[in-house]
């Protein structure tokens, strides 16, 4: 077993407490490879933002849990080399079993999410409580979830929203002992969150009621990519077909971040940036076959995206 403290990582408790009191949200950025990790750390160091490096179930299968753990450990040293150490959490995104969460705790993750939202309420409580008991024994923080997000991302999918019921949150938090709670208020996974002509809007009224019931408790928003029009246009310019990709308006996310929302997950926007950068190189330099020559520009585009997110959307810049 490896303790996350040996790797220089931190759990989310102090990080979230500061975010809630400061009226900003910490970025939860997913990574699968070195270039994505480099972009995340460069962006967060340059904006002086704390960050949560997220590993999904799909990422564990693609890149291997051990390799991702060592990449996160390297991220801590990389931030120091760049000249500004930042708080870094390694987080399991959408864990669905006790065994998976236990494995991540044992491998040095400093935070885990147990997503029991697809279970009946009582079963979700029971599963989440078991994860909390194991994780807290190792000082690892735990994120639970109430409500179901629509959309598809990696191995997480649902056709329709099931909004979080505010009347359940107090009971859930008390019975499980979770450190943070992911809620469903209209955000969704993937790049196709809304249909053309549909007004993109998240239920800030539900968020407000939840905040009244559990004041000061750390809230998490999943599926919060905004699907920037310029990135969609760039992908499509170089052969993509994303004409109906519509995301969450950034002004709504900023409003949420000023409340008890202290962590906002963004993944699809990063995928768009990487894809746009790679497509552009392939279109403009079709003879190029050096991975560094197309992954490098994609990494740089991703870094600029995340710098803007930290500064203009999440409010996490200058908080590390």
Which residues are tagged catalytic?
A: 93
Q: Can you give the length of the chain in residues?
A: 320
Q: 285 — alpha (psi -120 to 50), left (phi > 0) or beta?
A: beta
Tell me the chain's radius of gyration from C-alpha atoms.
Answer: 19
The alpha carbon of residue 181 and the mean position of all alpha carbons in its chain are separated, in whole angstroms, by 13
Q: 175 — alpha (psi -120 to 50), left (phi > 0) or beta?
A: alpha
For the residues of 226-251, what is the DSSP string, one character each? Answer: ---HHHHHHHHHTT---TT-B---HH
Report the distance separating Cα 40 and Cα 29, nearest Å: 7
Question: Could you tell me which of 224, 223, 245 has the C-alpha nearest to residue 234?
Answer: 245
H-type alpha helices, the chain: 13-22, 34-47, 57-63, 65-81, 98-106, 121-136, 166-176, 204-213, 229-237, 250-257, 268-284, 291-308
Report the distance separating Cα 149 and Cα 171, nearest Å: 21
Write the burial class of residue 283 (CB in 10 Å: 0-12 exposed, 13-18 middle, 19+ buried).
exposed
Report the distance separating Cα 154 and Cα 142, nearest Å: 21
CA atoms within 13 A on the CB side of 155: 13
142: β partners: 112
- Tell me how far apart the 2 most distant CA atoms of the chain are, in Å: 60
- Helix, coil or strand: residue 113: strand
């Amino acid at each position: 077993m490896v303790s996350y403290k040996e790797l220089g990582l931190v759990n989310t408790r102090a990080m979230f407490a500061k975010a809630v009191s400061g009226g900003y949200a910490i970025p939860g950025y997913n990574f699968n490879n070195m270039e994505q990790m480099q972009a995340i750390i460069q962006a967060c160091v340059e904006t002086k933002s704390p960050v949560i490096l997220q590993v999904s179930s799909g990422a564990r299968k693609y890149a291997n849990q051990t390799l991702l753990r060592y990449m996160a450990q390297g991220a801590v040293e990389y931030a120091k080399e760049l000249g500004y150490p930042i708080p870094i959490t390694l987080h399991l995104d959408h864990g669905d079993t006790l065994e998976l969460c236990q494995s991540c705790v044992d491998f040095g993750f400093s935070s885990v999410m147990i997503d029991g939202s697809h279970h009946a309420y009582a079963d979700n409580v029971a599963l989440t409580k078991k994860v909390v008991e194991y994780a807290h024994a190792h000082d690892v923080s735990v994120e639970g979830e109430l409500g179901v997000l629509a959309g598809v991302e990696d191995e997480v999918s649902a056709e329709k929203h099931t909004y979080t019921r505010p009347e359940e949150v107090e009971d859930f938090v008390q019975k499980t002992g979770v450190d943070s709670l992911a809620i469903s208020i209209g955000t969704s996974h993937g790049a196709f969150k809304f249909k053309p002509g549909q007004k993109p809007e998240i239920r800030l009224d539900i968020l407000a009621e939840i905040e009244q019931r559990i004041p000061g408790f750390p809230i998490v928003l999943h599926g919060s990519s905004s699907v920037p029009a310029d990135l969609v246009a760039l992908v499509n310019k170089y052969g993509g077909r994303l004409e109906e990709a519509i995301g969450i308006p950034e002004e709504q996310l900023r409003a949420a971040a000023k409340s008890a929302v202290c962590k906002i997950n963004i993944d699809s926007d990063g995928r768009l940036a990487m894809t746009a950068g790679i497509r552009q190189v392939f279109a403009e330099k079709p003879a190029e076959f050096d991975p560094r020559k197309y992954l490098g520009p994609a990494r740089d585009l991703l870094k600029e995206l995340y710098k803007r997110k930290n500064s203009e959307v999440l409010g996490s810049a200058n908080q590390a």
